[in-house]
Amino acid sequence: MVGALLAGVLGTFGFNLLLVALTRGDQTAATVPTQSTLEDAPLASLRFDTQFRIVEANREFQHTFAFQNGDSLARLWHPDEWENDRLQLKSGTWQSVERRVFRADGSLVWAELSIERQSSRTTLWIRDVSRCKAAETELAQTRAAIHDLYEIVAGGESDLNTKLRSLLAMGCRRFGVETGFLGQVQDNHLKVLHVYSADDRIRSGQVYDVGGALADAAKLQQPVLIQPKGPRGLVQVNPQIDWQNYPLFTTTENETYLGAPVRVNGALYGTLNFSDPEPRAPFAPAETEFLQLMAQWLGSEIERRQTRVDLEKQQKQLLEVNQKLESLAVHDGLTGVKNRRAFDERLALEFRRSRRYGIPLSLILLDVDKFKHFNDTFGHPAGDEVLKRVASLLQSGVREIDFMARYGGEEFVILLPNTDAQGAQILAERLRASIEGASWKLREVTASFGISILVPGMQEPTHLTAAADAALYESKANGRNRVTVAGDKAPNDETV
């Protein structure tokens, strides 16, 4: 596969991975509040009694959901999930979960629901995760499309006609249209070479006189997007070209058209086209990027068959792309260090290894002090620069065998294999001092640290992080900018 295809894969798929990483980072930056009053909480929150009646709600909840005191909690829930969740809430087995909830306008949104129990009342915290869900859906669709394309590119089938039919069928599914075809440019004409369609409006062998419109399109070297809002009313048209009179649009009575030039050896070979007689929802940028990717592969495949490029070289390049994509999946988009997903996987591995062989394992959890106030004062771009600088200081201060990651928001975590409490404390103090002593443009930046050590009784990796989190909380409670080591007692399930 040529370099343009690799760039296209990374541009489309890498962008979606980054989107999920950033979305997750944005929506998990705030931990569940601990305020005694709901009004100070940054999340929508409420309290309900044992009869599941709302007895108190903050302004954020009332603004978003418009429920009143005395209303049943069941009104918030999707009816398919309420009965089972009600039983869990009543039995005390409820855990933090993601559920669909109703907003004031009647729309359903995805939210993370967490609870805090009191004697006769329970507090419910509601964090909107709909953006994250949408990003994950788009990522899943993109990954599925990339997988389908890879199956076509690297599949055992060597017949180009079979691969083209699979490519066109996949494109019709991806874009939600009826017809896809490959046309070859011959002088001022476009000849249909291969077509996938539910009817015979466009047939192999048909020739269209495209004249200057095709020449103009070839100069653009970008996908052509025609999306009528109603019968023949164009709403998204490149003003440089008279698409209103484009033959492929006018002679086939299409209401939706998406096409991209196919180039072989740098010259225009033809166009890859998808169309439908009905209007559809606007094409997303990821869809036009994916069409470019398809057209780039198609041009390179034709070129490969013309020049007998070795297939094994393509397969090797695609494997390298997959490795790069996997790397993108485990790195934080802002700081460049490993992300929470990578940390969870490494923690599970090191936890099992330490318990099996009886070797020490330590964990450092740190939080940039008063970071929310910093963002509110100087803005999020300045806050991002602080996070990147802190990540760089931490990365340069740990050993090669240590594992450092962004845990979420302004929190970072460092896993220290074969390190006892004394070694972890020495490292944490050195890192704390390096952050405090660094040159900061806007104001002094410090961080609070919590350290936990693997001790007998810790049965799950989360026990280690919970102990470090408790020690971090103690550092903040005692004035911040300090290091606290957790006690030797393993946390039980109630403290995790």
pLDDT for residue 201 is more than 90: no
pLDDT for residue 219 is more than 70: no
pLDDT digit string (tens) for 14-61? Answer: 434 333 433 444 444 444 454 456 777 778 888 888 899 999 888 888
Place 478 in a pLDDT band, splitting at 50, 70 and 90.
Answer: very high
pLDDT of residue 29: 40
Torsion angle of alpha carbons 164, 166, 167, 173, nearest 10°? Answer: 150
C-alpha–C-alpha distance, residues 233 and 338, integer Å: 48
Beta-bridge partner residues of 258: 225, 274
pLDDT of residue 230: 43
C-alpha–C-alpha distance, residues 206 and 75, integer Å: 59
User: Does 346 or 22 have the greater pLDDT score?
Assistant: 346
Using CA atoms, how far residue 34 sits from 63, 124, 169, 315, in Å, is: 21, 12, 53, 53
pLDDT of residue 4: 44
pLDDT of residue 448: 97
C-alpha–C-alpha distance, residues 432 and 448, integer Å: 8
Torsion angle of alpha carbons 138, 7, 262, 181, nearest 10°? Answer: -20
C-alpha–C-alpha distance, residues 384 and 302, integer Å: 45
The whole-number average pLDDT for the span 73-78 is 89
pLDDT of residue 433: 97
Averaged pLDDT of the chain: 81
CATH 3.30.450.20-classified regions of the chain: 23-131
pLDDT digit string (tens) for 380-391? Answer: 999 999 999 999
pLDDT of residue 96: 82
pLDDT of residue 486: 94
pLDDT of residue 400: 93
pLDDT of residue 125: 86
Crossing angle of helices 311-329/130-154, nearest 10°?
170
C-alpha–C-alpha distance, residues 52 and 68, integer Å: 13
> Is 169 exposed, middle or buried (CB count within 10 Å of its CB: 0-12, 13-18, 19+)?
middle
Tokens of 308: 């007998």
Q: Which of 338, 387, 328, 321 is nearest to 19 (CA)?
A: 328
User: Does 188 or 9 have the greater pLDDT score?
Assistant: 188
Q: Could you tell me what percent of the chain has a pLDDT over 90?
A: 32
In 202-354, where do the E strands start and end? 207-209, 224-226, 228-230, 233-234, 256-264, 267-276
Q: Could you tell me what percent of the chain has a pLDDT over 70?
A: 79
The whole-number average pLDDT for the span 457-471 is 95
pLDDT digit string (tens) for 442-462? Answer: 999 999 999 999 999 899 999
Contact 436, 446 (CB under 8 A): yes
C-alpha–C-alpha distance, residues 124 and 85, integer Å: 13
pLDDT of residue 480: 96
pLDDT for residue 241 is more than 80: no
pLDDT for residue 425 is more than 90: yes
List Cβ neighbours of 51 (8 Å cut-off, separation of 6 or more). none
Contact 38, 45 (CB under 8 A): yes
Quick check: helix, strand or coil at residue 149?
helix
Quick check: helix, strand or coil at residue 406?
strand
C-alpha–C-alpha distance, residues 335 and 260, integer Å: 35
pLDDT of residue 226: 52
CATH 3.30.450.40-classified regions of the chain: 135-326
Tokens of 44: 């929508």
Domain 23-131 has CATH 3.40.1160.10: no
The whole-number average pLDDT for the span 294-301 is 88
Q: Which CATH superfamily is domain 135-326 in?
A: GAF domain (3.30.450.40)
Beta-bridge partner residues of 209: 189
Q: Where are the alpha helices (DSSP H) in 369-437?
A: 371-378, 380-397, 421-437
C-alpha–C-alpha distance, residues 174 and 286, integer Å: 11
pLDDT digit string (tens) for 356-398? Answer: 999 999 999 999 999 999 999 999 999 999 999 999 999 999 9
pLDDT for residue 312 is more than 70: no
The whole-number average pLDDT for the span 174-202 is 85
pLDDT for residue 240 is more than 60: no
According to CATH, the topology of domain 340-485 is: Alpha-Beta Plaits (3.30.70)
The per-residue b/e assignment along 386-414, b for 16 or more CB within 10 angstroms, e otherwise, is bbebbbebbbebbeeebbbbbbbbbbbbb
Place 69 in a pLDDT band, splitting at 50, 70 and 90.
Answer: confident
C-alpha–C-alpha distance, residues 411 and 365, integer Å: 7
pLDDT of residue 422: 96
